[in-house]
Amino acid sequence: MRVNNVKKIWAEGGAVVNGWLGIPSSVSAEVMTHAGFDSVTVDLQHGLVDYQASVSMLQAISTLDVTPMVRVPWNDPIPIMKALDAGAYGIVCPMINNREETEKFVGACRYFPQGYRSYGPARAAMYAGGDYASEANDNLITMAMIETLESLGNLDEIMSTKGLDAIYVGPADLSISLGHPPSADPTIPEVVEAMDTILAAAKRNGVVAGSHCASGDMAKRLFKKGFQFCTIANDSRLLAQKAAEEISAARG
Q: Tell me the average pLDDT across 65-84.
A: 98
Is the distance from CB of 83 to CB of 71 less than 8 angstroms? no
Residue partners of 198: CB distance under 8 A and separation at least 6: 146, 152, 155, 167, 169, 209
Structural domain includes residue 146:
no
Name the nearest CA neighbour of 193 among 213, 178, 173, 215.
178
Q: What's the pLDDT tens digit per position in 1-33?
A: 999 999 999 999 999 999 999 999 999 999 999
Tell me the CA end-to-end span of the chain in Å, nearest whole number: 52
Q: What's the pLDDT at 222?
A: 98
Options 34, 46, 180, 212, the catalytic residue: 46
- pTM for this predicted structure: 0.98
**Residues β-bridged to residue 143:** 92, 166
Catalytic residue at 46? yes
Structural domain includes residue 176:
no
| 62: CATH | 3.20.20.60
Q: What's the pLDDT tens digit per position in 209-226?
A: 999 999 999 999 999 999
Q: What's the pLDDT tens digit per position in 124-153?
A: 999 999 999 999 999 999 999 999 999 999
Domain span at 22? 5-136+211-251
> For the CA atoms of the chain, what is the radius of gyration?
17
Structural domain includes residue 221:
yes
